[in-house]
Structure 1
Amino acid sequence: MQNDNILTISDIRKEYHNHTALAGVSLSIPKGSIYGLLGPNGAGKTSLIRIITQITGADSGKILFEGEELSPKHISQIGYLPEERGLYPKMKVGEQLIYLGRLKGIPKAEIEKKLKYWLTTFEMKEWWNKEVGGLSKGMQQKVQFVATVLHDPKLLILDEPFSGFDPINANLLKDEILKLQQKGTTVIFSTHRMESVEELCDTIALINKSHKIFEGKKADIKMSHRTHIFEVQTDKPISESGNSFAILKESKETDFKTYITSVKINEGVAKNALLQELVSDYEIISMQEKLPSINDIFIKMVEEK
């Protein structure tokens, strides 16, 4: 049977002295997905990443990589960009990238061919003979990202990849992450930046205090936390609550001489009932359900747990 997950993580447990980092965490990372691994500081995300990359081992549990038990042979198929810089500050950018590529078993000629693309894409050509230690945080992050993807990993793990980036370079990196996904790379994206999760991730999981809180497709999770709030655009202000709804915010006039009102449908009422009640008194121009953001869900779930 074909395995649709690149990683299947089953009941992983990890303790450090008197601290439980992971308490039986199980996750399924679909092939070709951008998978958001979310959680506050100290939740256990980094401990899990270190186990996947085999920097440390789990106390118990199992991880399968494309259906096979995770082993040292899989390291060559994984790329890991840690949040902390991991470069040699006295080495020049060019020699460092060639050195790191050779460590991954890539022939020098192939490295140089790949670097032509990345140095052009990230506008790094003039950095070739610069020492890494003389670069800004964002510039170092670019160098480290290139080193992470040189060997075309099947699984790419990014821990706060936008750290130190201005908006222009952050967008450049997002575009390259999406291109890698289109080519078949699976991306695990660990971050605190919920706006990046909204833009990039199709599947997400939340870990808090060493436990998995939820996991699933981003759209399904947002639907499961819906609050039944709608923004209704009408030809005139909605003056008062009705039988099927309550007004949350007073009608606000738009530039087109229409009005937008935030309403909440009453318990057990279908949205068609809201439409039927309003059409008798108003011209309905649009009606849009306001689903909670991933940031709203993140805060709510962490506070509840």
Structure 2
Amino acid sequence: MTEPLIIDGLHKRYGDLVALQDMTFQVSPGELFGFVGSNGAGKSTTMRIVLGVLAADAGRVTLGDKPIDLHTRRQIGYMPEERGLYPKMKVGEQLVFLARLHGMSTTAARESVERWTTRLGVDQRVGDDVGDLSLGNQQRVQLAAALVHDPRVLVLDEPFSGLDPVAVDVMSDVLKEKAAEGIPVIFSSHQLDLVQRLCDRVGIVARGQMRALGRVDELRARDGITLEITGPPTSARWADGLPGVLAADYRIADNLTSLRIDPGIADDQAILAAALRSGPVHRFAQSTPDLTELFREAVSA
């Protein structure tokens, strides 16, 4: 079991531009952490500070209680948003070279390259120049470069960019497998449906600050859960005063009642019983906002 990746109070400024302000969170061993925000929000800056590519003006990054030094960085698998591979170098030679830079023997590096290129579906392209590959295959090779040295931490910037649906499934399975091995995995993505489906926790960043942080289900339920009930006459305002009902919206035209409820107080069965006392119930459904809605709220705020 590895240690948590801890980002503590990072500040970064470029002249008058504040890129990061008190960026604080941690990624636990075995956790898939989604790091989301608009372009320029501070995601890549944070990741580059983790890797030591940039220096923070204040704050620190540690793996457990140990600062990230050169030895620790060799144990991190990093995938930049921009293509970071040599386009005129053969795929296999390049991956072996990168594995050797991380301290692997030549034999171990070649075995790992064979394993990961096969796993990611680019084993038939190991003799090709990286620049001759499609963008999707370049992305697969880039992920292989992040994994080839068996890292203790994964930091991936837009790993799903440019991938077809089959490759997205392969990538998703690999990230879940690495998390299951006890590795902290952090990745950024604009594909919020994937983040919602894959991640244990998510951080939403805007203008260099963390605007929302927590488990996906907790964030989705933090402003209450919505119940939609069709059937009982809305003119009766039958849900007014029920325990745990935070707000009620009655659409008289189609007898649709929309209730925002506090899940810790409201009893959905008591609400259903109250609806049935007012008339027949044709539909009784629960919904919570998806991550896209939460993202819009956090960014606009």
- Quote the Cα distance in structure 1 between the aligned partners of 2:95 and 2:252: 55
Q: 1:272 to 1:109 in 2, by over 3 A?
A: same
- Quote the Cα distance in structure 2 between the aligned partners of 1:69 and 1:112: 31
- What is aligned with 1:116? 114
SS, match of residue 230 in structure 1? strand
- Quote the Cα distance in structure 1 between the aligned partners of 2:252 and 2:21: 43
The correspondence of residues 174-185 of structure 1 with structure 2, limited to 5 A, is 174-185=172-183
What per-residue deviation string (whole Å, max 9, x for no partner) do you get for residues 107-135 of structure 1? 12112222232222222222121111111
- Any conservation in 1 of the 2:231–2:281 contact (CA below 8 Å)? no
SS, match of residue 74 in structure 2? helix
- Aligned partner of 1:44: which letter? G
- What is aligned with 2:148? 150
- Aligned partner of 2:274: which letter? E
- What is aligned with 1:264? 259
Which of 207, 227, 238 aligns to 2:231? It is 238
Q: TM-score, normalised by structure 2?
A: 0.87
- Any conservation in 2 of the 1:36–1:190 contact (CA below 8 Å)? yes
Unaligned stretches of 5+ residues in structure 1: 253-260
Q: 1:248 to 1:78 in 2, by over 3 A?
A: farther
- Quote the Cα distance in structure 2 between the aligned partners of 1:4 and 1:112: 25
- Quote the Cα distance in structure 2 between the aligned partners of 1:79 and 1:151: 8
- What is aligned with 1:195? 193
- Quote the Cα distance in structure 2 between the aligned partners of 1:153 and 1:247: 55
- What is aligned with 2:157? 159
Unaligned stretches of 5+ residues in structure 2: 240-247
- Aligned partner of 2:280: which letter? Y
- What is aligned with 2:300? 303
- Quote the Cα distance in structure 1 between the aligned partners of 2:266 and 2:175: 42
- Aligned partner of 1:189: which letter? F
Q: 1:89 to 1:154 in 2, by over 3 A?
A: same
- Any conservation in 2 of the 1:37–1:205 contact (CA below 8 Å)? yes
Offset of residue 283 of structure 1: 6.1
- Aligned partner of 2:19: which letter? A
- Aligned partner of 1:152: which letter? D
- What is aligned with 2:18? 20
- Any conservation in 2 of the 1:240–1:247 contact (CA below 8 Å)? no
SS, match of residue 13 in structure 1? strand
The correspondence of residues 265-304 of structure 1 with structure 2, limited to 5 A, is 265=260, 270-280=267-277, 281-282=279-280, 287-304=284-301
Q: How many aligned residue pairs are there? A: 288
- What is aligned with 1:32? 30
- Any conservation in 2 of the 1:77–1:153 contact (CA below 8 Å)? yes
Offset of residue 76 of structure 1: 1.4
Which of 222, 226, 229 aligns to 1:229? It is 226
What per-residue deviation string (whole Å, max 9, x for no partner) do you get for residues 160-202 of structure 1? 1111111111111111111111111111111111011111111
- Any conservation in 2 of the 1:157–1:188 contact (CA below 8 Å)? yes
> Percent identity at matched positions?
30
- Aligned partner of 2:81: which letter? E
- Quote the Cα distance in structure 2 between the aligned partners of 1:176 and 1:249: 50
The correspondence of residues 61-210 of structure 1 with structure 2, limited to 5 A, is 61-210=59-208
* Worse-matched range after superposition: 212-221 or 171-180: 212-221
Offset of residue 104 of structure 1: 1.1
- What is aligned with 1:258? none
* Worse-matched range after superposition: 129-138 or 209-218: 209-218
- What is aligned with 2:209? 211
- Any conservation in 1 of the 2:12–2:21 contact (CA below 8 Å)? yes
Alignment RMSD: 2.5
- Any conservation in 1 of the 2:90–2:127 contact (CA below 8 Å)? yes
- Aligned partner of 1:263: which letter? S
Offset of residue 57 of structure 1: 0.9
Q: 1:117 to 1:275 in 2, by over 3 A?
A: same
Q: TM-score, normalised by structure 1?
A: 0.86
Offset of residue 72 of structure 1: 2.1
- Quote the Cα distance in structure 2 between the aligned partners of 1:13 and 1:292: 31
- Any conservation in 1 of the 2:40–2:207 contact (CA below 8 Å)? yes
Q: 1:250 to 1:81 in 2, by over 3 A?
A: farther
